[in-house]
Amino acid sequence: MPQDISMHIPFPARINPDAARVAEEEMQWLLDFGLLRSPEAVRRHRNGGYTELGVRFHPAATGEGLALAIEQQSWFFLFDDQFDGPRGDDPVQAQALVGTVQEVLRRPDGRPRAPIAAAFADLWTRSLGGMSDRWRSRAEQHWHQYFESYVAEARHRSRGEAPSEADYLPERRRSIGVRPTLDMAERAGHYEVPHRAFTSAPMAAMRQLVADFVILDNDLVSLEKEEARGDPHNLVLVLRRERGLSRGAAIEEVGRMRADCVERFTVLEEQLPQECDRLGLTAVERDLLDRYRHDALRSLIRGVHDWAQQAGRYTAAHIIPAERPGYLDDLG
């Protein structure tokens, strides 16, 4: 891991006070769906710190909404691990698993046999509770984009291709999982952002900046993982190849881009009162938007950065070398 990737973020650190209880419920959910099949798998998962990430992402959620959001975060990482071996290099194998999970969105009443798909079916079905058709349509689209990105990345690897600098962020915005996580923030909090505010240009820009920050922060902490596996999907490696930068200079440039995301985000935040006036939002609608800003957008930026500084997922002990692709359970 790069030695100095910390930065000042002008938002307060927040952790859900119900973290201890929900951690035990999450572990039971993982065991019930067969997602952790051995003591070593349990140890490795605990070391990854995914519960802590979830309680930072959703600091104000309570009850079943919080449990659902935490389980989603763990599911993300277990699904991602399924592509660390040969499946991640073969678009046919990648499509087979992706198609199995996507079928849940097409047939929510089905009963998938693969543990990773069965767990996703549980998450998806529960996430629909109390949400509007408009939210469901949006969330479904975001999930499809997320799943299809794994096939695209496998296609790159199978051809020996690396993403260009111009294509990198647009492609990673689909695969990073920020869009489904932000959708879940509404579900976990039992509210929805007013549609005309959600689709406004400033809010769209703020969501994109959140996604880009998460991508850039992740690329800094996961650099050694991608280097160890020869995976080209990291902006530090893209900049080294395309601009001819040294490793240190590429890290510095990604850090500068990351800081720029926060600066631009705060500028847009300052413009939100005028945007609310322009949209004619009621006092209740403004409160919902403010809740989304604090409990979703800001929480993802601050939460992922604080978590990444100590996350076990990116320690040397957690990195799976390319020559050991069978180290993880196949849950597909």
Q: Per-residue pLDDT averaged across 193-199, rounded?
A: 97
**What pLDDT, on a 0 to 100 scale, did the predictor assign at position 323?**
43
Q: Is the pLDDT of residue 104 over 70?
A: yes
Give the pTM: 0.93
| Residue 134 domain-assigned (yes or no) | yes
* Assigned domain for 327 exists: no
For residue 288, tell me if it sits in a domain.
Answer: yes
pLDDT in tens, 2-48: 445 889 999 999 999 998 889 899 999 999 999 999 999 999 899 99
329 within a domain of the structure (yes/no): no
In a domain, 13, yes or no: no
Q: What is the pLDDT of residues 198-254, one digit of tens each?
A: 999 999 999 999 999 999 999 999 999 889 888 888 999 999 999 999 999 999 999
Give the per-residue pLDDT at 4.
Answer: 57
Does residue 252 form part of some domain?
yes
Find the domain containing 256 and state its range.
19-322
Give residue 330's pLDDT band: very low, low, confident or very high (50, 70, 90).
confident
Residue 216 inside a domain? The answer is yes
Looking at the chain, the whole-number percentage of residues with pLDDT higher than 90 is 80
Determine, yes or no, domain membership for 278.
Answer: yes
Q: What's residue 312's pLDDT?
A: 65
Supply the CATH number for residue 165's domain.
Answer: 1.10.600.10
Give pLDDT tens digits for 119-149: 999 999 999 999 999 999 999 999 999 999 9
In SS3 terms, the chain reads as CCCCCCCCCCCCCCCCCCHHHHHHHHHHHHHHCCCCCCHHHHHHHHHHCHHHHHHHHCCCCCHHHHHHHHHHHHHHHHHHHCCCCHHHHCHHHHHHHHHHHHHHHHCCCCCCCCHHHHHHHHHHHHHCCCCCHHHHHHHHHHHHHHHHHHHHHHHHHHCCCCCCHHHHHHHHHHHCCHHHHHHHHHHHHCCCCCHHHHCCHHHHHHHHHHHHHHHHHHHHHCHHHHHHHCCCCCHHHHHHHHHCCCHHHHHHHHHHHHHHHHHHHHHHHHHHHHHHHHHCCCHHHHHHHHHHHHHHHHHHHHHHHHHHCCCHHHCHHHCCCCCCHHHCCCCC
In total, how many domains does the chain have? 1
